[in-house]
Amino acid sequence: MKKIPRDAHAVSRKDISPNALKVLYRLKDAGYEAYLVGGCIRDLLLGLKPKDFDVVTNAHPEQIRQVFKNCRLIGRRFRLAHVVFGREIIEVATFRGHHSGDESNPKSSQSDAGMILRDNVYGSIEEDAERRDFSINALYYSVNDFCIYDFANGIEAIAERKIELIGDPETRYREDPVRMLRAVRFATKLNMQIAPATLEPIQELAVLLKNIPAARMFEEALKLFLAGKGFDNFMLLNELGIIKHILPVVAKNLKQDSEGKMLQLITSAMQDTDERVAIDKPVTPAFTFAALLWYPVEVRAQTLLIESGLNELDAFNIAMMEVLDDVQRSIAIPKRFTLTIRDIWSLQSRLGKRAGRRAFKLLEQAKFRGAYDFLCLRAKAEGGDLQELTLWWQRFQQEDEAGREQLVQQLGKEGIERRPKRRRSYNKTRRPRSDQGGS
């Protein structure tokens, strides 16, 4: 362990959340050890503004709750305390200890593959540091002496800009396969390289991500794709062979994407989302997943058309359902988002049918804007008629009522929905007509 004195590091109390400092001092006054830990220290050392401030202590969760009235305990796998200050939450964790290997211990358990299922085992600060995932996160700041305590050469790793696991990489990935996703996120967020020993086992062990609960994988997907580095994360996940384990239908269709349309659509959607995050505009996972899964749905719909003889609408609806159901096995996308995804997809065909009052009715649809933005991305990926359609809708939105009427009139027969001819069905046994002597 290295102790970095106050005059040798750049972390200052003026850059720390006042609420985090309150938690540290109140735990200290109650007789407990307390430190700021992990990402907030790392970010301050890199000159970045931390998203949140986490505290670690030797007080147990119930003891933390006794110190803070504004505290709630959460979690089963890891028992944590959330100290609430209005809209800010300071997360407080107890020092984690090592697992004893005693399967009868109700506070800890591991799967046969080595994945930690329950982890309420408490220990010392030294043990807690060893349990941290990456060296850049095993940094502790104390308000007792304002020193930083570096247990895994984290300061050196920051200087060398490398993401390096603490301990044996294979063991650490087996304990929690999500660490592979965290390695990717930290590498892109901090503009660092994944250390060779940390990188080497990923392709072989990425299959373990299939064991992660789908609900947790959705939360990880939000961090990967909607936190400002979605494009970089997607490309690195694909390069490392991770996508095929978390979104197999996407990986399969990317492999068959000879024209590059699918990758272009995903690239445009991810970059658009990253730009919105950068200027603090709202983003939604519905739009991202709609882009990721659009071509898999199209391909499946075409297969159904050929194999089953369904009409286009039925084939497309079944394809939407099948692809979304397939993804839910690995990433549990909440219903409020899948409904929006389906709306965006369904409106794509309707945007081409503009005659009469159709265009006016479409403009009133709640999901029109999302569907139009998605059409723009498709036009960028495919060009051709879609670009013309996008320009028409752009003009239609900008015009007044009279101008819109004129645009629709100029369409002529263009944009009219072509309904498939209905076949007449005949019974094998026809009733005789009365004038033919029927009874």
Q: What CATH number is attached to the domain comprising 33?
A: 3.30.460.10
Which residues are CB-neighbours of 354 under 8 A, at least 6 positions away?
Answer: 362, 392, 396, 408, 411, 414, 415
**379-403 residue pLDDT tens:** 999 989 999 999 999 999 999 999 9
User: Does the pLDDT value for residue 425 go beyond 80?
Assistant: no
Is 104 a member of any domain? yes
Share of the chain above pLDDT 90, in %: 82
- In the set 43, 119, 128, 133, the catalytic residue is 133
| CB distance 60 to 122 below 8 Å | yes
Residue 417's SS3 state is coil
Whether 77 has a pLDDT exceeding 90, the answer reads no
Check the CA dihedral 203-288-257-231 and report its sign: negative
**Are the C-beta atoms of residues 224 and 237 closer than 8 Å to each other?**
yes
**pLDDT (0 to 100) of residue 413:** 54
Is 291 within a domain?
no
Q: Which of 15-19, 163-167, 281-285, 428-432 has the lowest mean pLDDT?
A: 428-432
Chain mean pLDDT for the chain:
89
Asked which of 180, 201, 225 is the last residue of a domain, the reply is: 180
What was the pLDDT predicted at 259?
86
For residue 140, the enclosing domain spans: 1-180
Residue 292 domain flag: no
Mean pLDDT confidence for 196-212? 97
Identity of the residue numbered 85: F
CB-neighbour burial class of residue 223 (10 A; exposed 0-12, middle 13-18, buried 19+):
middle
Residue tagged 């001092």 (tokens)? 25
Name beta bridge partners: 140. Answer: 37, 149
pLDDT in tens, 7-50: 999 999 999 999 999 999 999 999 999 999 999 999 999 999 99
The answer to whether the beta carbons of residues 157 and 135 sit under 8 Å apart is yes
Pairing of strands 108-110, 88-94: unpaired
3-state secondary structure at position 187: helix
SS3 311: coil
- Active-site residue 128, yes or no? no
Residue 29 appears among annotated catalytic residues: no
pTM of the model: 0.84
Residue 241 lies in a domain: no
Task: Give yes or no: 257 in active site.
Answer: no
Predicted pLDDT of residue 404: 94
Q: What is the pLDDT of residue 113?
A: 54
Inside any domain, residue 21: yes
| Spatial contact of 130 and 166, defined as CB atoms under 8 Å apart | yes
**pLDDT, tens only, 90-138:** 999 999 987 655 444 444 445 555 454 455 689 999 999 999 999 999 9
